């Protein structure tokens, strides 16, 4: 009697094995792709958080060093501080005495920290839509409130806020609140 045993695989067994192998490889490749996309998202989020932390630190540092120096002109005494929704200019300690500083926005939503009359750029931050606001009493007002503009005043704002979309605002209290004489 002859045995009808065959060596090897049948075509059906081979096709089933290849189908299972291709399904498993699709799942593995899909998982790797998902991991790569997740890794990129986490990296972008971490970069964004680091940018905001650095911006918060430098903003607090510069506003915290603000010097409310009075200047006098034909309109009377004013404090050298001005700001609007797009930026702030003020005096702070520099290497050889008080220096002019500016924190300004541009159309690409980049905040630039600069110093000096020629505005030497110290730092740039791309953060998305944002604006500045100022809390205090403007000349002729009785009650303190938030303002979008602070210019030619006899006092400094009590609080300065940088509001960034989708992020908690950064609010800083300048070191000294003065009233011009």
At residue 32, the pLDDT reads 94
**pLDDT reported for residue 165:** 85
Are the beta carbons of 67 and 91 closer than 8 angstroms?
A: yes
The residue ranges of DSSP E strands in the chain, in sequence order, are 70-73, 76-79, 81-84, 87-94, 97-105, 110-115, 120-126, 130-136, 145-147, 159-164, 170-172
Q: Please state the separation of Cα 81 from the chain's center in Å.
A: 23
Cα separation, 108 vs 126, in Å, equals 8
One digit per residue, pLDDT tens: the chain, 181 residues?
Answer: 556 666 777 889 889 999 999 999 999 999 999 999 999 999 998 998 898 899 999 999 989 888 887 777 666 678 888 999 999 999 888 888 888 999 999 888 899 999 888 888 888 888 889 999 999 988 888 898 999 999 878 888 999 999 988 788 999 998 865 554 4
63 alpha-carbon distance from chain centroid = 16
- pLDDT for 86 equals 92
The token duo for 48 is: 């964004």
This prediction has a pTM of 0.74
Per DSSP, the three-state class of 94 is strand
Q: What is the pLDDT of residue 139?
A: 81
């Amino acid at each position: 009697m002859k045995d009808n045993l065959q060596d090897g695989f049948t075509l059906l067994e081979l096709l089933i094995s290849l189908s299972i192998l291709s399904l498993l490889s699709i799942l593995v490749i899909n998982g790797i792709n998902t991991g790569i996309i997740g890794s990129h998202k986490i990296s972008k989020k971490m970069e964004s958080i680091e940018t905001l932390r650095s911006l918060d630190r430098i903003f607090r540092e510069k506003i915290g060093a603000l010097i409310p120096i009075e200047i006098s002109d034909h309109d009377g005494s004013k404090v050298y501080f001005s700001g609007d929704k797009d930026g702030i200019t003020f005096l702070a300690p520099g290497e050889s005495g008080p220096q002019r500083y500016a924190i300004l926005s541009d159309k690409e939503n980049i905040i630039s920290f600069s110093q000096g009359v020629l505005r030497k750029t110290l730092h740039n931050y791309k953060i998305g839509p944002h604006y500045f606001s100022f809390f205090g009493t403007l000349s002729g007002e009785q009650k303190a409130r938030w303002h979008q503009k602070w210019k030619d005043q006899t006092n400094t704002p009590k609080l300065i806020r940088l509001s960034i979309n989708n992020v908690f605002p950064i609010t800083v209290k300048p070191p000294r609140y003065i009233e011009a004489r």
